[in-house]
Structures are given as structure tokens and as C-alpha cells.
Amino acid sequence: YVDLNAGDECLTPPEPPSLLSPANGTTISIESPQLCLINSTPAPGCIDPQVYTFELYADESLSDLVATYNDIPEETETTCANVTASFQSGRFYFWRVKCSNGSAESDWSGPFYFHTPNIVPPTPGLISPDDEDTVTSLTPTLSITGVNDPDGTNVTYEFEISISPDFLSLSSAGQIEDTISIINWVVSDQLTNNSLYYWRVRASDGIGYSQYSVSRTFYVESSSQNAPQAPQIHSPSDGSTANSQNPLLTVINGVDNEGDPLTYDFQVFDQSGVTQVAIVFGISEGTTTTEWTVTTQLADGLSYQWRARCSDGIYYSNWTPMTEFSVDLGVIINNPPTIPNHVSPSNGETVTGMPITLTIENSVDPENDIITYDFFISDDPSFSQDIASMLDVTETAFETSAEINLNLADGERYYWHVRAKDGENVTEFSSAAFFDYVDLAANQDDYTAGISGPFSGSTILTTTPTLAASNINIVETKNYYFEVATDTFMYNIVTFSGSVPEQENGKTTWQVEEELESGQNYYWRVKVNDYPYSPVAKIYIQFAAYAHPNPVHLGENVTFVLPPEEVDLFIQTVSGETVLIQENVSNEWVWNLNNSAGSQVSVGVYLWYIANSNVHGKIIVKP
């Protein structure tokens, strides 16, 4: 038997070789460099010797051939080619390699790349805008001085713009490659009008980067950024009738000269045009018209007025003229009044003495019918049995009160709610509120600390509020213990004070040491020594940086309420000139209306910003 295919094994090409060194992107020595590979795997059954071809190029597209090294014999496991070509410093080079067994060749491996020793370009200099300049374009031109690369390669300039001095987030960035002495780059992203920006630049030769330039600031104040044209009322039109208590309001879109996307605000008023009954902000623009369905149910048989406006995110258009329409469902309906709101005692408040005065904010009746109120008190939150009531209490201006004289138990909790009546309709009961009754005659106040602030129902504009207790009148060493929880039963304690010695002036205070979460309700109480705790007070945490008083008069001070962590505060004129930069301030900081030179500012409007945030405001200085 004769195998006619014997000797054909090497007609199958070997596998392509693999990269060994230099690793991609690394620097090599110009003196006698080597290009090394991991040998190819021969075709199965082929024992013919293998050789390699190396090609070296000066460009990634492999069009500028520098040198070729043919028939390099295979060595054990790895094979290298000694490069004799002359290299330039600061350049990338690209190479590839293939294997041959004399009968067939592998595919090319690569291209792989390395670079020769490099010197990075010098740092560019900033020309304009100058530091603290004001620019009038939302896409200003930034100018710098060009630089020459020591290795003679082309230089690319990288620009960065940010609202923060640390450039952690960028408002715009771009690259430009040029060889001229002055480089101009037009900001590629539209900036926000009336805003402060930082900018810087660095140079790159494709291998390394220069240092960043020093950063500068500029203020954008564009008079060409005009307010959009107001939308037009489409429906319901003036004098028309809507057959729904939740009518659809439609406007013909406004026009923005800059082509910015617009959003829309809608307002609905009663027939007088004074009392607002519904409002919405930021409705996204439709194709040619924009619409909103009124979410508040309007009363059948009554007339209303409405209007709309649009915004480009910076400026608002004028409001459309007030447009009146009526709601007519075709049937005569007497609508019930709104459910009354509790005023006092607030939920969780401690009440002492008799009589007890319960006060509510008046309901609103769509038909302006005469309203009376029923007040109820119970010792059971489910109101299974009322212990007192005042019925048919006649409404008084703005608020209505009922005085109830009861023999309540000292230290007990009581609940109350109210309903309104217009002669035909009776509303649902208001949400029940509770109060804790303390009989001063029972001398309980001698042992229980009182809540001196913040009182129950308060909104607190700091995440580390100060809690105050009224001192008790007993002769012994007294220590106060404060607790803060996320529930009214004080099960979930989030922070507590430990022992706080009694302070002077009739009250003892403690500032919460652990930051509370903004936008959440908390509950707090206090006790003295081992005596009973005070009633629980509910507070709402809503931090907001602000300055007060505002407006302020020359000769007065402005107090800034700031975050508890240190921030940098910038105060500027409306034209962008820096008045004062106060670094590393927190909690409260007082400004005496002096600028950085120590001179008092003049009458006018000033803008303030917290660095690295979108928190800002304005201060009006009056004579």
C-alpha cells in the first residue's frame, strides 16, 4: 500500500505567531531593540523548519515601511528579530510578523506597536478670556499660545470647562490639532447664561501629556439669550364651556429664537382670578401644541380663569392673558366644601389648662354656601366613643375655633377631628390629630421637662438641629437626656445625647451630632435624670442654604446658613466681578458687606454660589 498524500502535511499553513515583546504601547530602547514572538504551532504532521518575516512601519495604516527582516530562523519556543533600522525619538512604530514552513505561510499577526523614548510637550499658556472676564456668548472662543514638541511631533490641545475648580465634572471639552502660534477653540457645548466657569488646557504629542495650565474663570452673560415668545391660548377659549371637571388645557407653542427646548407652566384660578386652584410646572413641549389635564376637580356650574407661559430653562415668556371658561356638566350639583385643616393644637402638642381651644383653617365651598363645623374629642384614635363635641359651630373669618371645657386626665393623650357642612353636604372628617394633656395643678411639670423648641410640626432648615428643653424646678443635680427617632413611638432611635448638665436661663439645649437626613420626619423627646420623658415632638428636616436678612441695608450683616461640611462661598456682582471668596466655611457665616479689599460694597444686587454645587442665590443691598 502506497500513501499518495504523503508529504502534503506542510501544505496546511502554520498558526500565526503570538506577541511576546515589547508589549503593546510600551517604550523601547533605541539601541539594538528586539522584536520577539512566541513561535507558531506547525501544521499537524509537518516537520519542516519554520522561518519568520518581520515588517516594521512608521504608521498605523502600515503604508510607511521602515524595514523588513525575512527568513528569520525559528528558535526554541520564541524567536526574535534584531532591529537595525534608525529610530526617531518620541514616535510610535508598528510591526507585524508571519510564519512560513517553506510550503505555506500563516496569516499576519499584528500590527503591534511601541514607541521610542519621548519628551512631553511644554504646557500651553492661556490668552483669553482673561481671569474673571465676562463673555457674552454661550459658545465663547478660548485662545491659547501654541507649543512645539521637543521630539518634533504634532501637538493636540485638550480644552476642559467646568463649573467647579476641581474639574470633576465637565460642562464642555474638546481637542484641536494645529501648529500655529495662537490656538483658538470655540466651545462645543452651549454654556448656561449667567453662570461662572473654570477652564484649562494641556498639550499631547500622542504619547504623553503636558501639565495642565493654570485654570482661569470667566462669567457668561449673554444679552442675546432672549426670553421666548409667549404661547397662545387654544382651548378652552375665552367665554367657552368645558363639559369636564378635569378639563384639558391646550396652548399653541411659544417660539424660542435660539431654538432651545421649551417647557410650559399652567395656572388655574377661581372666577375672580385671585385664588389659585391648580398649577403645574415644566410640562414638556408637544409638536405644535402643548396640553395639560387639570388635576384638581373643578366645580360644576362655576367659572374659572387660566393662563400659561413657557421657559427655555433660563428665561420665562410673558403669561398669556387670563382666559375665562365655565364648567357645565348639564346637571345641577351642589358641591361639598373642602375638608378643614387643623391649626392648633398641632399634632403631638402638649396642652395645659382649661378651656381647650380647637382651631381649624376654614373650608372652601364652591358655591359659597354658609359653612358650619362639628368638632369631636375622643380618648380613642378610632373615635369609638366621643367624650366631647361642639356641633354646628358658625364659621368666622379665615379660621374657626371651638372652646371645650372638660375634666381631662393629667398625662393622657386625646384625639380630635372636624367636619364641615354647607346645609346639604357633609364632608369627611379631617385627619385625626392628638394632643397630650398636662394638668399644671397636679405638679407634673416639676418633674417633666417641657419642649422649648423646635415645637411639634416645625420644619428645620438644617440637618443638625439644636433641641431645647425647659428646665424643671426641683433642687438637685439635673442632667438632661435627649432622644431622636424615626417613629412617634420612639422605637427606632437614630441618635441620642447622653448626659447634658442643666444650663442657665431656664432651658437646656443639645445640638444633634449625627446628621439627619433631609426630606424626612423625625421625632424627639427629653427627660431629666430618671423622671418621665416629655411628650414627643415631630420635626421635618429640610436643609436649604440661604442668606438672611434679604434685602439687607448698608451697615447691617448678612448671615449665610450653609451645609455642616466645609464649602467655598463665592460672592459676585451680576456682571460677574468677584466681590469675595470665602473658603472652608460651614453652618453659619456672617458677611459684613465688605469686599475682598475690606471696602463696603455699594447698593445693588449680588449673586452668591457654593462651589461644586448648584446651590446659589442673590442678595439685595439697599441704602
Q: pLDDT tens across 497-532, in order?
A: 999 999 988 889 999 988 888 888 999 999 998 888
pLDDT tens, position by position, 466-488: 899 888 888 888 899 999 999 88
The closest alpha carbon to 91, from 132, 58, 126, 52, belongs to 58
User: In the 8-state DSSP scheme, what is residue 441?
Assistant: G
pLDDT given at position 1 = 33
pLDDT given at position 419 = 95
Quick check: helix, strand or coil at residue 479?
Answer: strand
pLDDT of 438 higher than 80: no
pLDDT of 122 higher than 80: yes
> What is the sign, positive or negative, of the torsion defined by CA atoms of 312, 313, 315, 321?
positive
pLDDT of 374 higher than 80: yes
pLDDT tens, position by position, 536-583: 888 888 776 778 888 889 889 999 888 777 888 999 987 778 899 999
Name the residue with cell 361639598.
336
The x, y and z cell numbers of residue 103, run together, are 510550503
Percent of the chain scored above 70 by pLDDT?
96
Q: Distance from CA of residue 336 to its chain's centroid?
A: 41
pLDDT of 445 higher than 60: no
pLDDT given at position 502 = 93
pLDDT of 274 higher than 90: no
One DSSP character per residue, 33-89 reads: -EEEEEPPPPPTT--S--EEEEEEESSTTS-SEEEEEEEEEP-SSEEEEE--S---T
Residues 433, 417: Cα–Cα separation, whole Å? 7
pLDDT of 2 higher than 70: no
Higher-pLDDT residue of 388, 302:
302
pLDDT given at position 4 = 42
pLDDT of 68 higher than 50: yes
Measured from the Cβ of residue 93, the count of other Cβ atoms closer than 10 Å reads: 26
Name the residue with cell 415668545.
229
The closest alpha carbon to 290, from 230, 263, 256, 250, belongs to 250
